[in-house]
Chains A and B, each alone.
Chain A
Amino acid sequence: MSAAGLETQGLCKSFGALAVASAIDFRLERGARHALIGPNGAGKTSFVNLVTGALRPGAGRILLGGEDVTSLPQAARVKRGLVRTFQINALFRRLSVLENVTLAIAERDGVAEDFVRPAGRHRAVIEEAFALLDRLGLAEEAVRPVSELAYGRQRMTEIAVALGLAPKVLLLDEPAAGVPSGETATIIDLIERLPAEISVLIIEHDMELVFRLARRITVLVQGSVLIEGTPREIADDPRVRQVYLGERRHT
Chain B
Amino acid sequence: MPDARRSMLDAFARRHRLHVLEALPWGVAIAAYFAFPDYLALGAQILAVIIFALSVDLVLGYAGIVTLGQAAFFGTGAYTAGILAANGWGEPLTGLLAAGAMAGAIGLLSGAIILRTSGLTLLMQTLVVAAMLSEAANKGGRITGGSDGLQGMDVWPILGQFRFDMFGHTAYLYCLAVLAVAWIAVRALVHSAFGRSLTGIRENVMRMHAIGAPVDRRKLVVYTVSAVLAGVSGGLIAQTTQFVGLGVLSLERSGTILIMLIIGGVGQLYGAFIGVPLYMIAQDRFSTIDPTYWYFWIGLFMVLMVVFAPGGVLGFFARRRARRGKP
- B212/A78 in contact, CB under 8 A: yes
Which listed segment binds A: B23-31, B148-156, B195-203, B235-243?
A: B195-203
Q: Which residue of B12, B15, B204, B212 contacts A107 across the interface (Cβ within 8 Å)?
A: B212
Q: How far is the CA of A106 from the CA of B208 in the complex (A)?
A: 11
Within B163-214, which residues are at the interface with A (CB < 8 Å)?
188-189, 191-197, 199-200, 203-204, 206-207, 209-214
Q: Which residue of A90, A113, A115 contacts B210 across the interface (Cβ within 8 Å)?
A: A90
Q: How far is the CA of A28 from the CA of B157 in the complex (A)?
A: 71
- B207/A91 in contact, CB under 8 A: yes
Q: Which residue of A86, A112, A123 contacts B213 across the interface (Cβ within 8 Å)?
A: A112
Q: Inside 8 A of B192's CB, which chain A residues have their CB?
A: 114-119
Q: A90-B206, A123-B13 are in contact. Are A108 and B212 (CB under 8 A)?
A: yes
Is B326 close to A, CB under 8 A? no
Closest residue on chain B to residue A158 by CB atoms? B207
- Which residues from chain A sit less than 8 Å from chain B, CB to CB? 52, 54, 74-76, 78-79, 83-84, 86, 90-96, 98-99, 102-104, 106-108, 111-123, 125-127, 130, 139, 142-143, 161, 165
Q: How far is the CA of A125 from the CA of B225 in the complex (A)?
A: 26
- A126/B13 in contact, CB under 8 A: yes
Instruction: Give, as a whole number of angstroms, the nearest-CB distance from A78 to chain B.
Output: 3
Q: A115-B189, A120-B14 are in contact. Are A79 and B212 (CB under 8 A)?
A: yes
Q: Inside 8 A of A111's CB, which chain B residues have their CB?
A: 193
- A75/B209 in contact, CB under 8 A: yes
Instruction: Give, as a whole number of angstroms, the nearest-CB distance from B269 to chain A.
Output: 13
Q: Inside 8 A of B206's CB, which chain A residues have their CB?
A: 86, 90
Q: Inside 8 A of A127's CB, which chain B residues have their CB?
A: 9
- A99/B196 in contact, CB under 8 A: yes
Q: Inside 8 A of B5's CB, which chain A residues have their CB?
A: 130, 139
- Give the B interface residue count (CB, 8 A): 32
Q: Inside 8 A of A118's CB, which chain B residues have their CB?
A: 16, 188, 191-192
Instruction: Give, as a whole number of angstroms, the nearest-CB distance from A205 to chain B.
Output: 22
29 A-B pairs with C-beta separation under 8 A: A75-B209, A75-B212, A79-B212, A86-B210, A90-B207, A92-B199, A92-B204, A94-B203, A95-B199, A95-B203, A96-B12, A99-B12, A103-B196, A103-B197, A106-B193, A107-B212, A107-B213, A108-B211, A112-B193, A112-B197, A114-B192, A115-B193, A116-B188, A116-B192, A118-B191, A118-B192, A120-B16, A126-B12, A127-B9
Is B215 close to A, CB under 8 A? yes
- B194/A113 in contact, CB under 8 A: yes
Q: A90-B210, A139-B5 are in contact. Are A120 and B189 (CB under 8 A)?
A: no
Is B307 close to A, CB under 8 A? no
Q: Inside 8 A of A165's CB, which chain B residues have their CB?
A: 211-212
- Which residues from chain B sit less than 8 Å from chain A, CB to CB? 5, 8-9, 11-16, 188-189, 191-197, 199-200, 203-204, 206-207, 209-215, 221
- A142/B8 in contact, CB under 8 A: yes
Q: How far is the CA of A175 from the CA of B221 in the complex (A)?
A: 35
Q: Which residue of B11, B191, B212 contacts A119 across the interface (Cβ within 8 Å)?
A: B191
Q: Which residue of A94, A96, A115 contacts B195 across the interface (Cβ within 8 Å)?
A: A115
Q: Inside 8 A of B212's CB, which chain A residues have their CB?
A: 75-76, 78-79, 107-108, 165
- A90/B13 in contact, CB under 8 A: no
Q: How far is the CA of A75 from the CA of B5 in the complex (A)?
A: 33
- A92/B13 in contact, CB under 8 A: no
Q: Inside 8 A of A108's CB, which chain B residues have their CB?
A: 211-212
Q: A91-B204, A106-B197 are in contact. Are A78 and B210 (CB under 8 A)?
A: yes
- A75/B215 in contact, CB under 8 A: yes
Instruction: Give, as a whole number of angstroms, the nearest-CB distance from B190 to chain A.
Output: 9
Of the listed residues A86, A98, A106, the one surrounded by the most CB atoms of chain B closer than 10 A to its CB is: A106
Q: How far is the CA of A126 from the CA of B16 in the complex (A)?
A: 14
